[in-house]
Structure 1
Amino acid sequence: MARTREFDTEAAVSRAMELFWTRGYEATSLRDLTRRLGIGQGSLYAAFGDKDGLYRAALEHYRTTLAATALRDLAEGADARSAIRAMLVERIRIAVGNGGQGCLAVNAACERLPEDPSIRRVVRDMQDASQEALAEVLRAAAERGEVAARHDPGTLAAFLVTFLNGLLVSSKITPDARALEPLVEVALTALD
């Protein structure tokens, strides 16, 4: 008879996400994980397969929580420019938190690619979801005359995601929201 899992898997993934986000994949050992999660190695392997499986679960948790919240807030924003500004500024503030931890997805791309195709898929899915959400907001805004229609909404959305990725890398170098937030205004001129 199989033993029942004696820990909260979702809470463990959330704690692992925080640890990976702060320290990175390579700098986080199995010992760090078992200590932080309060479980033994056997339980970690039984639940997640290995460190890679736990890392993928942590990225998925990030996607379904923080990243999903950002996309929902974007879709619910009043006008496109304000919603996009708010989303970009909020991502900066999260990234500079805890001494410049950056963005977990961007960190994963910088640390694990191109060698890890499974991480590439997870990060690409997050990036694609962001681009699609932004493109939809921009299409609707162009129809209402809120933003210039001179750029294809999909291309403009790809630009904004690329800008955000670069900004999130920069947040690790300069973890100062006041220094980074003015760059958002420059990027928003692409909407004119």
Structure 2
Amino acid sequence: MRGRPTIYEDDSIIKKAQELFWQKGYTATSLSDLQKATGAGAGSFYNTFKGGKKEVFQKAIAERRLAFDAFKNELNQSDSPLELIKDFFRSNASADEIEHLKGCIIANTVVEMTFIDEKLEFDAVQILKEVEEMFTQTIQREKNRGNLKSTTDPEILGRYLITFWCGLNTLRRMYPDKKILKEQIEMQLAVIS
């Protein structure tokens, strides 16, 4: 006798689950929510994701790491990586209100998982630290090339940018207004001129 079929673990399933986690958070997302979002029944869901909701969440978070890795490659190949970093931040001002309200799934996870799930919090913190390191290395290279006026240590600037990123994701919820966000972003980015 044949068991229940498993669902295919493809990018679209993880992306659908990720969108749900992004909007509701890990804790508020139920198995029923995930089944509706992915189109999977309980049996096939657990046959595919033996670790249940937590496994799907970890894969959704890992998928975001891939996006940051792609950005890192783009920075490494760019003739003007500081402008790419600035454009990354500037693009947030022009996002729609839903994007503003969602914020950053990685930063959201750090806040939500503190005191709840040490492993999920740790994974999210590691991703933010990798992004911080990406900023730091880029700033150091540009400083070495003479393309940065700031005399502030690149490590401090890298940490500043990740602090700015986390703060911006709260500010976007407070002021989902493109003009306000643009002004705030430009003021903050002056530090890497």
Above 0.5 in TM-score?
yes
Query: Cα gap change, 1:115/1:174 in structure 2, threshold over 3 Å: closer, same or farther?
Result: same
Q: In the alignment, is residue 152 of structure 1 matched against residue 150 of structure 2?
A: no
Check conservation: 1:135, 1:153, Cα contact below 8 A.
Answer: yes
**Which digits, 9 at most, give the CA deviation of each residue in 1:116-167, with x for residues without a partner?**
1111222122112211111111111111221135221111101111111110
TM-score normalised by the chain length of structure 1: 0.86
Query: Cα gap change, 1:94/1:20 in structure 2, threshold over 3 Å: closer, same or farther?
Result: farther
1:36 shift after superposition = 1.1
Q: In the alignment, is residue 175 of structure 1 matched against residue 180 of structure 2?
A: no
| CA–CA distance in structure 1, aligned partners of residues 158 and 134 of structure 2 | 8
Aligned residues: 191
Q: Name the counterpart of 2:104.
A: 103
Point out where structure 1 has 5 or more consecutive residues left out of the alignment. none
| CA–CA distance in structure 2, aligned partners of residues 15 and 89 of structure 1 | 26
Q: Name the counterpart of 2:23.
A: 22
Point out where structure 2 has 5 or more consecutive residues left out of the alignment. none
Q: Name the counterpart of 1:50.
A: 52
| CA–CA distance in structure 1, aligned partners of residues 166 and 122 of structure 2 | 16
Bigger shift: residues 52-61 or 92-101: 92-101
Check conservation: 2:128, 2:162, Cα contact below 8 A.
Answer: yes
Q: Name the counterpart of 1:74.
A: 75
RMSD: 2.4
Q: Name the counterpart of 2:118.
A: 117
Check conservation: 2:6, 2:45, Cα contact below 8 A.
Answer: no
1:10 shift after superposition = 2.7
TM-score normalised by the chain length of structure 2: 0.85
| CA–CA distance in structure 2, aligned partners of residues 176 and 147 of structure 1 | 30
Check conservation: 1:99, 1:175, Cα contact below 8 A.
Answer: yes
Q: Name the counterpart of 1:63.
A: 65
